[in-house]
Amino acid sequence: MKKVYLRTFGCQMNEYDSERLLALLSGEYVPCQAPEEADLILINTCSVRRKAEEKVYSMAGRFKHLKARRPEIIIGICGCVAQQEGERLLKRFPHLDLVLGPQNIYRIREILEEIERTRRPQVRVEMESGFRPPVVVPSLDGKRPIKAQVTIMQGCDNFCSYCVVPYVRGREISRPPEDILREIECLVRQGVREVTLLGQNVNSYGKKEKGFPSFAELLRMVAEIPDLWRIRFTTSHPRDLSEDLMRAFAEVKKLCEHLHLPVQSGSNRILRRMNRGYTREEYLEKIRRLREICPEIALTTDIIVGFPGETEEDFAETLFLLEEVRYDEIFSFKYSDRPYARAREFPEKVPEEVKAERLSRVHTLQARITEEINRSYIGREVEVLVEGPSETRPELWTGRTRTNHVVNFSAPPGLDLKGALVYVFIKDTGKHSLRGEYRRTIQGP
């Protein structure tokens, strides 16, 4: 059997595509951990942030020596950077054999055959409108998987002014509900108990397709699948967060009480320039309503600091918003110009040192809020889906609460809790996790 080394950068959508790539290659290739051992090297890339793109280039450059030593290996770049750069990648890295856009990963086998037959590099970045990805279920044998991700839609129509996604992933298209349900059912048969529905903007699922359910309706359909215990989803656009979807958090028992709702900025002026399609007030009103419907919901968000033209006053609005909402966790980034995105043409770029300083203030503020929220769990009993022994402290078990907090906990020896749903009593907190003690099993693995 040949060996494939696959390195993934970026978001959950990319992880999902990487799992599909491995599934499509199985039977001919087995994954390996070292590029030196591989017959096929694939870098699945992300171009949403400049830093990730730069890492991809540096990694692709490093493989040049490997190719010189073993010309028979096939080296490819897949994903968003491949889509964005196309042929240019071959000019920059003449040792590459393959440039593969996200829609084309499903043709990997036939394209590899073509490369082996002709020994000529291939660039496949065509995008088809109305593209329907086939149902590909990763082979999970022997791994006792607990969680899995399922893409429910591809692309995005929103054109936020800082974002490259609509250009590299294409326009928004939803997968048919029957494909999604079939894929989840296959995963559940293999032991998956928690599924995360993925898309760039999941809550606009089905809006463009005639006869498709709404996202809230799809959630209810997924919840009907027997032996599936938990459902999550990401990412949502605040503008498309409907009352029906908010009510699903209270009504669909399998839907975990966690919502990632990217706000990006607390300043209306900046939100307008970002083309986000909502105001600070509208966003906060949705949060208020959501908490009214589902008081225990945990919230996370994305923040961009240093967007072109962001003044100290705009930035202060973001800090006030963080104080007001009190997210459980945030993902914050310094703004960087991205190819095609409109904001790269905006003047008034914020200097790097100002961005770095603002990012550090965001981190300091959020660290305090996260710690306060984590401490509020002490003394409570929480439901945890156990993923397995902790990687850093194997004497402890690890899993997540419904609110998506990581819990490390002790349990009596001899119990095999992997894949079980248990109650854990929280006794302490770490920087990014809760610590506790096993109480009882709700449902066995």
Binding residue numbers for [4Fe-4S] cluster: 11, 46, 80, 156, 160, 163
Measured from the CB atom, is 76 or 166 closer to ligand SF4?
166
Nearer Cβ to ligand SF4, position 275 or 441?
275
Q: How far is the CB of 268 from ligand SF4 (least distance, A)?
A: 17
**3-state DSSP assignment of residue 293:** helix
Residue 315 CA: distances (Å) to CA of 69, 277, 319, 361 = 51, 19, 7, 10
Stretch that binds ligand SF4, among 158-166, 357-365, 402-410, 413-421 (CB under 6 A): 158-166
Decide if 384 contacts 421 (C-beta within 8 A). Answer: yes
Question: Site map for ligand SF4, 168-207, x if CB under 6 A?
Answer: --------------------------------xx------
Tell me the sheet residues that pair with 383. 423
3-class secondary-structure state, position 436: strand
Binding status of residue 340 toward ligand SF4 by CB under 6 A: no
Closest approach of Cβ 301 to ligand SF4, in Å?
A: 12
Question: Rounded to whole angstroms, what are the CA distances from 162 to 35, 166, 252, 287, 339?
Answer: 34, 11, 35, 24, 9
Count CB neighbours of 240 within 10 A.
17
When asked if residue 166 is in the footprint of ligand SF4 (CB under 6 A), the reply is yes
The answer to the question of residue 149 lying near ligand SF4 (CB under 6 A) is no
Binders of ligand SF4 among 230-259, rule CB under 6 A? 237
Among 157-165, 203-211, 238-246, 388-396, the segment contacting ligand SF4 (CB under 6 A): 157-165
Which residue's CB is nearer to ligand SF4, number 107 or number 171?
171
The pairing of beta strand 421-429 with beta strand 434-443 = antiparallel
Q: Residue 284 Cβ, how far from ligand SF4 at the closest point, in Å?
A: 19
Residue 42's Cβ-side half-sphere holds a number of Cα atoms within 13 Å equal to 28
222 closest CA partner among 252, 244, 249 = 252
**Residue 318 host element (H or E):** helix 312-325
Q: Is 113 exposed, middle or buried (0-12, 13-18, 19+ CB in 10 A)?
A: exposed
CB nearer to ligand SF4: pick between 154 and 370 = 154
C-beta closer to ligand SF4: residue 67 or 286: 286
Distance of CA 229 to the CA centre of its chain: 20
| Residue 160 contacts ligand SF4 per CB under 6 A | yes
Q: Report, in Å, the least distance between residue 428 CB and ligand SF4.
A: 36
Of residues 385 through 414, those in contact with ligand SF4 by CB under 6 A are none
Q: Does 165 sit near ligand SF4 (CB under 6 A)?
A: yes
Separation of alpha carbons 9 and 213, rounded Å: 32
Using the rule CB under 6 A, is 13 a contact of ligand SF4? no
Residues that bind ligand SF4 (CB under 6 A): 156, 158-160, 163, 165-166, 200-201, 237
